[in-house]
Structure 1
Amino acid sequence: MAGEKWLFPIISVSFVTVLLILSAISGFTASSAFFSRQPDPIYVLHGPRHPPAFAYYISGSRGDGPRMLRLLLAIYHPRNRYLLHLSHDASEAERIALASATKLAVPAARAFGNVDVVGKAGAMTYMGPSGLAATLHAAAVLLRLDKGWDWFVTLSAEDYPLVTQDDLIHVFSSMPRDLNFIDHTSDLGWKESQRVHPIIVDAGIYLSKRSQYFQASEKRKTPESFKFFTGSPWVILSRSFIEHCILGWDNLPRTLLLYFTNVLLSQEAYFHSTICNSIDFQNKTVNNDLRYKEWDNPPQMEPLFLNDTNFDKMVDSGLPFSRKFREDDVVLDSIDKQILDRKYHRVTPGAWCSAKRGWWSDPCSQWKNVNLVRPGAQAEKFGDFMKRLLEEWSSGSNSCRL
């Protein structure tokens, strides 16, 4: 009986937590973000006969506004959609400053209205599910704001691109648009006892100014009704799978959400377990998060900080993104100069930019056809990497192995 008395409040808390998360997903209104709305000056073409588009969710915490702005400038393209989220520990003034800075630094963003900053921020407890709730909320917002994007990409303020958006769009143009890129495994090892069995409650779900979690004294067994998968929390997911998670035409996403609201580091397992237990999506899953990372030996919870000594390996990897970086590290300047051709406080230029390039002039202050792309040298390396990756995926050797 003692165990039953203890278990009831945990189950009740889980159910209430799911209701709060689902409420957050479905209850978004225009008042919870800062918007810049103007008609598109040039018609942006979407659909299977046109280049793909990406919905970027960029997250950060207090003091990360400048880093998020720099990342936005590095990955901006008028075809894409962007949602920036500073967690609850940042001040309202910092959020307003970030929203204002995006308008000032990116003239095209003012015209295309494709960059938004979350105004009513939520908690993003590192070990708890409030980070997952924020990601699901962001996905729901991006679905509602824009019908044209094809892939949902999660980035943090510690990330940076290794390709231009023209490179990314060019390579992904040859990819099936229902593919998902997510690092995953069902070989849990030590994680089974330290991540799967503990039961936690994330205070950030209930109290926006709290960022700690509480762990129950008892534990639960590894679930038998579904296979538990884990992996990198950073993902590139197809629109169709995101719609499945948010709209849920079967009960799997919501059933697993009920379970993962009390799991440590649920961002490392929710999408992974949902996609690999879904008959509709488990065969459309590429086992790679498309991020360059360096690890300790043995690996710790987070990858090592990258610097100039890693530059050549990053470039040669052919991967489109990398993490993690210290703020304003000189290696970011190397990436800007040698890969992105990006000037200080300006967006990465692409085929869409039409103004005359000069010391004082921004080539992307004017634009032409945003449906055209001009891939560079790094696109060839990225394309070769993706070709090898898809060959592995086609063989079925690395996708959702139970």
Structure 2
Amino acid sequence: MGNEKKWLFTLFFAAFISLLLFISSICGFNSSYTFTSHKPYSAVHRGRGYPPAFAYYISGSHGDVDRVFRLLLAVYHPRNRYLLHIGTEGTEDERLRLSSLVKSVPAIRVFENVDVIGKPDATTYMGASNIAAILRAAAIFLKMDGDWDWFITLSALDYPLITQDDLSHAFSSISRDANFVDHTSDLGWKEDQRMRPIVVDPGLYLARRTQIFRATEKRPLPNAFKVFTGSPWVILSRPFLEYCIFAWDNLPRTLLMYVNNMILAQEVYFHTVICNTPEFKNTTINADLRFMVWDNPPKMEPLFLDKSNFDQMVQSGAAFARQFAKNDPVLDMVDSKILKRSGNRAAPGAWCTARKSWFVDPCSQWDDVNVLRPGNQVKKFAESLKTMVDDSTLESNQCK
């Protein structure tokens, strides 16, 4: 009888230990988590001998909190820096909610590389206040942590088509002085409809967003510099942004005043600065790395993408795509088939070491965040990137 009790006690104890281990695995804890999984922030190494790092500026408006957070998780990596902006159309409660969502991610709490702008900017869709907001974001990045390589602008309507491991791996093969600016000096119809009209952006002096005001008269094109235009979505090198912010000559400030009264200044400012600066004009790659589908003739914004565009997106060799409707099922396809991301979790990379299961976040544990593991999409993107870099030497793609 005594042996039977001992056997029952042993069986119960073993079952109890198994239950504890099961609960521990659900919560994502184990002995390695406590002692070896969480490297300190100093373990992030940047510079020429390490993979590139990116500074992401992600902007949204009223009702965009969930979209901005989802986009953040899709492009998150401990080596990067992130600045999130909900404009003045959003509420203080929305910004507080976004901050709470950000703090709910274990890696973000440890690496402290995501910030939410507390005092938002009033931006007008077609005005120069958007440029002011972007320059502010760049200045914040340079002040907080200047040890990054490229600055990327995204909005709540964007989504990545490759992982951060893919992006960093592919960018490792190009010069860190390269600037992705889709540009042309052939203004065409834009000269009369965009360049010469005089507008006033109320976002520069009113607290709430409103429409631009149009003057009745027009102005001639400048002859002190050549105007360039192109895609408003850019990927800019740190040296070029330092020039735009600190401006050891007066060109960036002069052009900022010029585009202040221009329609869609985002399509002109960086393009004109870089192509009129001898130090940087040969660093341009004439592309924006975006997949977009346009009407014919094109309207102000590209068409919304859906499941019917998925194969095109995958084969495009682009890094990002726009624009997407909120919670469109095609985003779930990108998460599942490309990013391998689910729920409110960061897209996993080589840095994520937790065992894979439906109840454990693979990025709740990590080791060396400086290691990359490119995925299936990297070949297509790397080929596309190489073609763009090679074509940048063609006269038709240079600042002329």
By the TM > 0.5 criterion, same fold? yes
Counterpart mapping for 1:123-142 below 5 A: 123-142=122-141
* Residue 249 of structure 2 corresponds to residue 247 of structure 1: no
1:175-254, aligned counterparts within 5 Å? 175-254=174-253
Contact preservation (8 Å) 2:39, 2:368 = no
CA distance in 2, matches of 1:75, 1:291: 15
TM-aligned CA deviation for residue 39 of structure 1: 9.6
Alignment of structure 1 residues 253-268 onto 2, 5 Å: 253-268=252-267
Residues 291 and 319, structure 1, Cα contact 8 Å, conserved in 2:
yes
Q: Which amino acid aligns with 1:268?
A: E
Contact kept in structure 1, 2:159 and 2:322, CA below 8 Å:
yes
TM-aligned CA distance change 1:39 to 1:375, over 3 Å: closer
- What does 1:263-342 correspond to in 2, within 5 Å? 263-342=262-341
Structure 2: unaligned runs, 5 residues or longer: 1-37
Matched residue, 2:158: 159
Q: Distance in 2 between matches of 1:394 and 1:270?
A: 22
Residue 101 (structure 2) aligns with: 101
Structure 1 Cα separation of the partners of residues 257 and 278 of structure 2: 20
2:383, 2:203 → 1: CA distance? 42
Q: Secondary structure at the match of 1:134?
A: helix
CA distances 1:253-281 after superposition (whole Å, capped 9, x unpaired): 01111111111110110001001111011
Aligned partner of 1:16 in structure 2 is none
TM-score (norm 2): 0.89
1:42, distance to aligned residue in structure 2 (A):
5.0
Give the number of aligned pairs.
363
For residues 322-342 of structure 1, the C-alpha deviation after alignment (integer angstroms, 9 at most, x for no partner) is: 000000000000000111111
> Percent of pairs identical after alignment?
59
- Give the drift of 1:40: 3.7
Q: Distance in 2 between matches of 1:249 and 1:43?
A: 34
Shift of 1:46: 0.8
Letter of the 2:148 partner, please give it. Answer: W
CA distance in 2, matches of 1:212, 1:204: 8
Normalising by structure 1, we get a TM-score of 0.89
* Matching residue of 1:149: 148
Please list every run of at least 4 consecutive aligned residues from structure 1 whose deviation after the TM superposition is greater than 2 angstroms. 38-42, 394-397
- The 1-side partners of 2:91 and 2:227 are apart by 37
List gaps (5 residues or longer) in structure 1: 1-37
Q: Which moved more, 1:41-50 or 1:136-145?
A: 41-50
Q: Which residue of 1 aligns with 2:51?
A: 51
Amino acid at match of 2:266: Q
Q: Deviation per CA, 1:21-70: give whole Å up to 9, x if none.
A: xxxxxxxxxxxxxxxxx994451111111110000000110000100000
C-alpha RMSD of matched pairs (Å): 1.2
Q: Which residue of 2 aligns with 1:92?
A: 92
Residue type at the aligned position of 1:128:
G
Query: Is 1:42–1:368's contact at 8 Å kept on the other side of the alignment?
Result: no
Question: For residue 118 of structure 1, what is the aligned residue in structure 2?
Answer: 117
